[in-house]
A and B are shown apart, each in its own frame.
Chain A
Amino acid sequence: MTYIAKPRLIHPGLRKNKLGLTVRDYEGALSTLCAGCGHDSVTTGIIQAFHELDTPPHRVVKLSGIGCSSKTPTYFLRDAHGFNAAHGRMPSIATGASAANKQLTYIGISGDGDSLSIGLGQLAHAIRRNLDMLYVIENNGVYGLTKGQFSASADLGSKSKRGEANSYGAIDPVSLALSLGATFIARSFSGDKRQLVSILKAAIAHKGFALVDVISPCVTFNDHEGSTKSYRYTREHLTEIVHSDFVPLKEEITVDYEAGGAAAVTMHDGSVLLFTKVAEGYDPSSREAVFSYLMKHQASGKIPTGILYVDESGKDMHELNRTAETPLSEVGFETLCPGSAKLDELMDDFR
């Protein structure tokens, strides 16, 4: 790990956002991950996305489980709230936090091990409840933190660093989320920040559960010949089947998308997601169409990227459960804890 602190010098040419903050105000502590880890790039993508969205850092809650990926919330938004949950248990904590205060922005960072092995059940239910959060899986096909064992997202036949082939099929988080009814599903690559940042911004603006699967190579344990999650392999097999631009609220839309045959989705906060280039026969608004497209193309070995599915009309957890508008932290003690007489009254109702 680097011994020196990152100098707190600000390039005078750095753009300030509406809050007067530069991108460096969205940083966190210096990363302790391996040099070249894809996760650090995703961290930078998150920093840029929040800066570009003019989000006040202290209005964000960052949550994670266990893993190299789950360490990364420390490395962005030093002024945000945070919680490092037990392995695979981040969705429960996120659910509770969100229920208690729906006015904050929630972002969960997880790994393929954290989400698809130990935490698969938690992830499934967070999707099912349509928890209003951005959920990033930094997907490297291995348990990086525990020294590179195959994870559940490792492809069948992919080789480990020592040369053994993986004998199980992979759990694909995108197909999983599609089948569980997720309302925003995307895939990107840590090595393509332009696409990543654009997707992250749309995912943050989305109301409900936004799953972003980011191929994020483990440079130490899974970047060799024979790996299907290496920088090289990923670059050779990526195919951006949906190209979209995120246009924040109050910004003029300059593309004539109606004419170009492209589609636009208005997000719940009024920002717009413009689909400018979509593969032949693809419709990111139809769950069945996306599912069959993905199934059909799975054998080709290509890695489809972009905002693969989006549905802004779904009801999120707060609507479904009619949660309180006011954050519980702002509700007075009297109201939160009305006393034993009130409790008795309530209990009587159930008798």
Chain B
Amino acid sequence: MRWTVDCGYNLRSVKPTDVFDPNYFHKVVDCQYACPAHTNVPEYIRMIAQGRYTDAYMLNRETNVFPGILGRTCDRPCEPACRRTRVEEKPVAICRLKRVAADLRDDISERLPQIPTKKNGKRVACIGAGPASLTVANDLMPLGYQVTIFEKLDKAGGLMRSNIPHFRLPERVLDEEVDAILQMGVDIRYNKPVASMKALLDEGYDAVFVGTGAPRGKQLELPGRHETDSIHIGIDWLESVAFGHITKIEPRVLIIGVGNTARDCCRTSKRLGATDVKVIARRPRKYFKASPWELEDAEEEQVEILINHSPKRFVVENGKLIGMELDRLEWREEGGKQLSTIIDTVTIPCDAVILAIGQENSFPWIERDIGIEFDKKEMPLVDKKTFQCTRPGVFFGGDAAWGPENIIWAVAHGHEAAISIHNHCQGLPVTERPQQGMTLVSQKMGLHEWSYSNNYDEAARAKMRHVDLVERFKKLEIEVELGFDPEATAREVQRCLNCDVQTKFTDSLCIECDACIDICPLLCLTMTPNAEEPELRKQLTVPAENLKQELFVSGPLKQTKRVMIKDEDMCVHCSLCAERCPTGAWDMQKFELYLPHAGQASWTTSK
């Protein structure tokens, strides 16, 4: 008889999910999990909804350090991960909402960490003043460290300063957030490129952090490359523009490459006098490295993108660049590989070319006999968890560690490296990381009332407003994106599904009445005899085919020994399961991740 079958644990069944392992519920908060710095997105979105912009800003700052900058420039890995993309089409405009908090916040100086006047006697040197080093300083200064930053240029910010154009990131925003860190008392030495690591190490710092980025733009050695001075390296050219050394460009410009840099080069060209800007891509669109919105931005400014063209030769006459010869390619797929054949060769006339085909690391200033080992590609050997290289006390982070990434990764590296530096200086092993933790708090306010907005909002993703196409080209500094207006903000915050408000199940309370299963709009729930996971996934009310999303599996239920299973994939956190549960076996509980940074204690509360 089916009800008396013993379906308790055996070898063929899944163990009950340990929801007190912070990883389980963290993974349900798709955006926070995807964010390299694990910013608590749903919480700050709710704060914005309540008009608590400063709180929202400070919550962001805890993890991502540069909310105003990132609210404009972040690569936003959170958005493709957003649950909303699975439930409907478009993610919550997480990044744009971050900017709202940054734009509307009050003065935060009172809320920044206090810097002890009595120092702890430890001196840390950071090389390069990009986001990675700045994050290290941000984490270590409040602990009493003396941090010295050596910077090659005469301003701080790294590529955020020298390469990201002002029409995307106003200098005022950059200054404010960089200064907030420098004003903690960082000893910053401008115009001080470190030319010898050995010499620096001899100065007796307790730890050294290398945050020098990937400063070398890739070359394209083709005939004609060195016969003219109208061919520029993208990142160097952008730097010259940023520092006012270059103020105009010729009318017809070809940009080689389709990444971040290419996008900024063509948009900058348009503002410096170019009238005809073309981007040259070897591959079809779906293989582009840039995020779709980056190209959209360029195309909106009437930049033409030529796909399937491969550079062959710079055409130079009497020392003057007059065009570029390109092979037209056709692509086909064979055994998972893309292969190309040349159809013909074309010449495209132009007056200038900008090479934006990538950046490389370069460490000529690090001696190879001081215990810092490099691999065959001339990259330092850096531990993925501790960010320490082969010489104890020397750490790498940001683009310098494993090649070009983006700001939020540099920040994430900075936090981790700061933990290692702190351990190193306190005589603890760098491998000893502080434990993550979590809290879960019921959000129940009444029989059918919750402390969050559980009603699914069908609103479509809000659109960004832009400065019009004539006005924006008048000055290099005009910020193109205007941010969300109050109406758009009010609508957008309601699109968030509050993925941190978790469905928490207590198996001992369940009477197996099916109410939760019957009500769930997305059919996430099933009660079934336990089995191995692949089998369980097939047995669910709707088979769980998205293997990236976890299954919650309860312990055996009292009456039938079946288990309650929840497929986390499509849950919209509507609370209906909890509202329909007669015994409170389901509850909606807010999950908060405790994510210790340098100097913060391990999670200790017993489960």
Residues in A lying within 8 Å of B, measured CB to CB: 1-9, 11, 13-14, 23-24, 31, 34-38, 40-41, 43-44, 190-193, 217, 219-220, 223, 231-232, 235-236, 238-240
Contact = CB atoms under 8 A, between A and B. Distances in A.
B538 to A, nearest CB: 12
Interface stretch (B13-21, B26-34, B310-318, B576-584): B576-584
A1 B576 CA distance: 11
A152 to B, nearest CB: 24
A36 B513 contact: yes
Nearest 8 CB-CB pairings of A with B: A36-B582, A7-B456, A44-B518, A4-B455, A36-B513, A41-B514, A35-B582, A13-B542
B542 A1 contact: no
Interface of B: 1-3, 87-88, 448-449, 454-456, 511-515, 517-519, 521-523, 542-543, 545, 559-560, 570, 572, 574, 576, 579-583
A350 B527 CA distance: 65
24 contacts: A1-B448, A2-B579, A4-B574, A6-B519, A6-B574, A6-B576, A7-B574, A9-B456, A11-B542, A13-B543, A14-B523, A23-B523, A34-B582, A35-B582, A36-B515, A36-B583, A41-B513, A41-B514, A44-B518, A190-B513, A191-B512, A191-B513, A219-B582, A236-B3
A232 B574 contact: no
A217 B580 CA distance: 15
B513 A231 contact: yes
A60 to B, nearest CB: 20
A1 B446 CA distance: 11
A9 B87 contact: yes
A7 B572 contact: yes
A217 B513 contact: yes
B520 to A, nearest CB: 9
A2 B576 contact: yes
A219 B513 contact: yes
B579 A36 contact: no
A271 to B, nearest CB: 24
Nearest to A230: B511
B511 A223 contact: yes
A240 B515 contact: no
A239 B542 CA distance: 28
A193 B88 CA distance: 30
Contact of A6 (B1, B514, B521, B560): B521
Contacts of B522: 7, 9, 11
Residue in A11, A34, A217 with the greatest tally of chain B CB atoms within 10 Å: A11
B518 A41 contact: yes
B559 A235 contact: yes
A35 B513 CA distance: 9
A8 B87 CA distance: 11
Interface of B is mostly: loop
A232 B542 contact: no
Contacts of B456: 4, 7, 9
A238 B517 CA distance: 22
Nearest to B546: A13
B570 A40 contact: no
Nearest to A217: B513
Contacts of B570: 11
Query: B3, B519, B542, B560 — which one has the most chain A CB atoms within 10 A of its CB?
Result: B3
Given A9-B87, A9-B88, A11-B542, A2 B580 contact: yes
Given A4-B454, A31-B519, 12 more contacts: A2-B448, A4-B456, A9-B572, A11-B523, A11-B542, A37-B515, A38-B513, A192-B2, A219-B582, A231-B513, A232-B511, A232-B559
Give the residue among B87, B518, B522, B582 with the most A Cβ atoms within 10 A. B518
A248 to B, nearest CB: 21
B446 to A, nearest CB: 10
Nearest to B575: A4
A13 B559 CA distance: 30
Nearest to A6: B521
A347 B383 CA distance: 104
Given A9-B572, A223-B511, A240 B2 contact: yes
B515 A239 contact: no
Nearest to A27: B521
A74 B203 CA distance: 81
Contacts of A11: 522-523, 542, 570
B2 to A, nearest CB: 7
Contacts of A232: 511, 559
Contacts of A41: 513-515, 518
A237 B572 CA distance: 38
A13 B91 CA distance: 20
A239 B543 CA distance: 29
Contacts of A191: 512-514
Contacts of A2: 448, 576, 579-580
Contacts of B559: 231-232, 235
B18 to A, nearest CB: 27
Contacts of A236: 3
A107 B521 CA distance: 25
A165 B518 CA distance: 33
A52 B522 CA distance: 18
A281 B456 CA distance: 55
Contact of B579 (A35, A223, A231): A35
Contacts of B88: 9
A24 to B, nearest CB: 8
B574 A40 contact: no
Contacts of A13: 542-543, 545
Given A13-B542, A238-B3, A193 B514 contact: yes
Contacts of B542: 11, 13-14
A190 B576 contact: no
Contacts of A35: 515, 579-582
Contacts of A238: 1, 3
Contacts of A9: 87-88, 456, 521-522, 572
A219 B580 CA distance: 12
B583 to A, nearest CB: 7
Nearest to B517: A44
Nearest to A47: B518
A193 B570 CA distance: 23
Nearest to B558: A232
Nearest to A189: B3
Contacts of A190: 513-514
Contact of B512 (A3, A43, A231, A240): A231
Nearest to B581: A35
Contacts of A23: 523
Contact of B580 (A8, A14, A36, A220): A36
Contacts of A5: 455
A253 B320 CA distance: 82
Nearest to A36: B582
B523 A7 contact: no
